[in-house]
Chains A and B, each alone.
Chain A
Amino acid sequence: MTAGGRILRADKLGKWYGNVLGLSDVSIEIGPGITGLLGPNGAGKSTFMKLITGQLRPSIGTVTIAGQPVWNNPGIFKNVGFCPEQDAFYEDTTGREFLSGLLALGGFPAAEIRERTARALAFVELQADADRLIRGYSRGMRQRLKISQALAHEPEILILDEPLNGLDPLSKRKVIRLIKEYRTEGRTVLVSSHVLPEIEALTRSIILIHQGKILAQGDIHFIRDLIDAHPHIVAVRTGRGRALAAKFVEEDDVRSVRFDEAQGTVLFETRNRDRFFERLTRLAAEEGWEIEEITSPDDNLQSVFDYLVGK
């Protein structure tokens, strides 16, 4: 397979659901390696995923894989694996039947189906439960089975829609390891998530999507820098709020200080969150300040995106 066969390209891609915008003017090229598609819920990630896997028809623009259009072109799925977001299965089949049935749809001969099924089950560590009905699987097992069906035919392009959603930390680690292992021999892997640390655990290369538009594409340090370039709000609950405010107000990274009498907290707006926390920790440890609670009300992806789009 040439590198061109592993390239997924969208050109001025747009999708409307009636009058509702799903995706707008997306032009992007995704090549070998792991790429993270990052955006808050409702940003258009799933719409993009469905468009690039031929489940939705573009309202405008084109989407191609290895130079071929995706819509109504089932032949491309010989080299594409897709793990959907939804927790949906043929519940009355066993894990082995599910995988072998889908491999049969891929046109493999019987002996190869058996071999590939066994290999995929081993890859996601489900051999012991392979002959149980899927309806009895735990959430983590179901997620791993979903991933295994996407890679059982060893596609050159693997597309995973929120593969870590709803998993416990142990299962998350397993799935992250599986995805990283799969990224060998120059394969293309696209992973979507609304959780920045999840994407950070997988790759440095990310695409930011928000309100149906691609905001930025590049190294993950780029978004980190963007985040750090914008002020963070940190709420500190302490019995000596005004004294604490006096300590911090002289620091040049602190932009403003406000008091929330109802909550009993001091709200600091800082340009350098890491430095702020370092000082706060030192105060608590060395000077014995009693700090009841520290929260960061805007420490989530939605806020970051709001900053980026200038809200």
Chain B
Amino acid sequence: MRNAPFVSVYKFSARLVRRSRRSRLLGALGLLPVILAVILQITRAAAAGGGLDGLEVFSNFVMGFSLQFLVLLLSLFFGTAITADEVDNKTLTYPATRPVSKAAFILGKYASSVSFLLVLVLTSTVVSFLILMIDRLSYGTAWTFLGRSLAALGFGTICYTALFTFVGTFLRKSVLIGLVFCFGWENIVQYFPGMTQKFTIMHWLKSLLPGLGGGMGSTEGGGLTAFLLFRHEPSPAGTAVAVLLLLTAVFLALAVAVFSRKEYLFDE
């Protein structure tokens, strides 16, 4: 059976992504929510049922760690690596001298990185949810919250990775610039009032969370969540999804356009 070029690149790249040191290191970071959930649950058990509410802890996890930190960092390192690794390791010559279009190359590699990240982030979120909510699994709002959280994390991974794939195609120090963008622009401008916050991807992701515009469930999130949602003026969930998909498509189109025109010189 003959594979389409995109599928061939995806399969080849998926193997490289699974085996890379980056995946092992950052994969461990992705498991951090699970480890924290276990520790918190043990602490709660020791307090004989007292302590923090499971849903509140989970919402803090999603908002404070997974969405505002983990997804950004993983997307940054995997997205920029799509071309940077090939250039830095001087392996770009191999795919560049195969009958594979540059678009298929970029999109295939992007898809393999995003698949890996989605499995990592979503699995870790679901497992930590199950651990924290073990005694409240029949609570309907909790499942709604999980679903909306997974949607926000999933779209966040897809959109940010596309952005950093694009950045990686034309910047040599893309990680540095990416860090400034993630923890400067995204983490500050999202709290600006009015229209300005809509210039961040985070605004659209937060609009997917429960009780923030979609009308699906709500959370009585505690201090951290309340802080992170400070001044948030949610957009409708449908609009948020459309904007995130559009941004992803634009970033990928730009990445393909730059990659097709740029010459990559190795340091020799």
- The chain A residue sitting closest to B89, CB to CB, is A88
Chain A residues in 8 Å Cβ range of B96: 53-55
- How many whole Å from A91's CB to the nearest CB in chain B? 8
Q: How far is the CA of A97 from the CA of B2 in the complex (A)?
A: 17
Interface residues of B in 8-57 (CB under 8 A from A): 8-9, 11-12, 15-16, 19-20
Whether A104 pairs with B3 at a CB distance below 8 angstroms is yes
- How many whole Å from B180's CB to the nearest CB in chain A? 28
Q: Does A268 contact B (CB under 8 A)?
A: no
The answer to whether A84 and B93 touch (CB under 8 A), given A107-B5, A107-B99, A110-B1, is: yes
Whether B16 pairs with A54 at a CB distance below 8 angstroms is no
Q: Does A92 contact B (CB under 8 A)?
A: yes
The 8 Å CB contact of A101, one of B15, B89, B260, B268, is B15
Q: How far is the CA of A117 from the CA of B40 in the complex (A)?
A: 51
Q: Does B95 contact A (CB under 8 A)?
A: yes
- How many whole Å from A24's CB to the nearest CB in chain B? 18
- The chain B residue sitting closest to A71, CB to CB, is B263
Contact with B along A79-105 (1 / 0, CB 8 A): 011101010111011000100011011
Chain A residues in 8 Å Cβ range of B101: 74
The 8 Å CB contact of B97, one of A54, A93, A104, A107, is A54
Q: Does A139 contact B (CB under 8 A)?
A: no
The answer to whether A74 and B93 touch (CB under 8 A), given A86-B268, A109-B2, A110-B1, is: no
- The chain B residue sitting closest to A146, CB to CB, is B94
Q: How far is the CA of A74 from the CA of B97 in the complex (A)?
A: 7
Interface centre among A76, A84, A108, by most chain B C-beta atoms within 10 angstroms, is A84
Whether B97 pairs with A75 at a CB distance below 8 angstroms is no
Name the interface size band of chain A: 20 to 34
Whether B98 pairs with A102 at a CB distance below 8 angstroms is yes
Q: Does A132 contact B (CB under 8 A)?
A: no
Whether B15 pairs with A88 at a CB distance below 8 angstroms is no
Whether A105 pairs with B266 at a CB distance below 8 angstroms is no
Q: Does B100 contact A (CB under 8 A)?
A: yes
Q: How far is the CA of A233 from the CA of B9 in the complex (A)?
A: 56
The answer to whether A105 and B8 touch (CB under 8 A), given A72-B260, A74-B101, is: yes
Chain A residues in 8 Å Cβ range of B2: 107-109
- The chain A residue sitting closest to B101, CB to CB, is A74
Whether B91 pairs with A74 at a CB distance below 8 angstroms is no
Task: List the count of A-B residue pairs having beta carbons below 8 Å apart.
Answer: 86
Q: How far is the CA of A55 from the CA of B96 in the complex (A)?
A: 7
Chain A residues in 8 Å Cβ range of B8: 104-105, 107
Q: Does B90 contact A (CB under 8 A)?
A: yes
Chain A residues in 8 Å Cβ range of B97: 53-55, 77, 80-82
Q: How far is the CA of A109 from the CA of B268 in the complex (A)?
A: 36
Q: Does B265 contact A (CB under 8 A)?
A: yes
- The chain A residue sitting closest to B97, CB to CB, is A82
Chain A residues in 8 Å Cβ range of B102: 72, 74
The answer to whether A92 and B3 touch (CB under 8 A), given A57-B263, A107-B99, is: no
The answer to whether A104 and B93 touch (CB under 8 A), given A56-B263, A74-B100, A93-B19, is: no
Q: Does A149 contact B (CB under 8 A)?
A: yes
Chain A residues in 8 Å Cβ range of B268: 46, 86
Interface residues of B in 90-123 (CB under 8 A from A): 90-91, 93-102
The 8 Å CB contact of B9, one of A55, A78, A105, is A105
- The chain A residue sitting closest to B7, CB to CB, is A104
Chain A residues in 8 Å Cβ range of B1: 109-110
Q: How far is the CA of A101 from the CA of B109 in the complex (A)?
A: 13
The 8 Å CB contact of A107, one of B3, B16, B19, B265, is B3
Interface centre among B90, B99, B102, B266, by most chain A C-beta atoms within 10 angstroms, is B99
Q: Which 3 residue pairs of A and B lie closest in terms of their CB atoms, listed nearest first?
A: A88-B90, A105-B98, A101-B12
